[in-house]
């Protein structure tokens, strides 16, 4: 199941060699551990670079996280659930 969202989330992030890596995030009262970052990209919105991360959680769930430095804030943009 695919959901297009714009939910604010809290993200625990590491910074290694100048690179941002999400480790886990809180959504709908539960903590989701990031098993793997499968992709990352940037998108320009005016003068701002939004940073996107495609991440894999538990089971076969995949999420798209967006870091907006203007807040700064994190947003869960999309979620794909492997559960039927």
Determine the pLDDT at residue 4. 77
Tokens 């941002």 belong to which residue? 20
Confidence of residue 59 (pLDDT cuts 50, 70, 90): confident
In degrees and rounded to multiples of 5, residue 51 shows phi and psi of: -105, 125
Q: Are 52 and 43 in contact (CB under 8 A)?
A: yes
Q: Is 15 helix (H, G, I), strand (E, B) or coil?
A: strand
Q: Are 53 and 39 in contact (CB under 8 A)?
A: yes
Q: Which residue has the higher pLDDT, 81 or 35?
A: 35
Give the whole-angstrom CA distance, residue 57 versus residue 30. Answer: 12
CB atoms within 10 A of CB 65: 24
Average of pLDDT values for 14-38? 94
């Amino acid at each position: 199941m695919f959901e297009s969202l714009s939910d604010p989330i809290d993200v625990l992030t590491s910074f290694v060699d100048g690179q941002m890596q999400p480790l886990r995030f809180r959504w709908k009262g539960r903590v989701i551990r990031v098993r793997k970052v499968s992709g990352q990209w940037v998108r320009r919105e005016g003068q701002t670079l939004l940073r996107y991360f495609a991440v894999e959680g538990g089971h076969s769930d995949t999420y798209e996280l967006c870091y907006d430095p203007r807040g700064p804030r994190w947003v869960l943009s999309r979620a794909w659930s492997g559960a039927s």
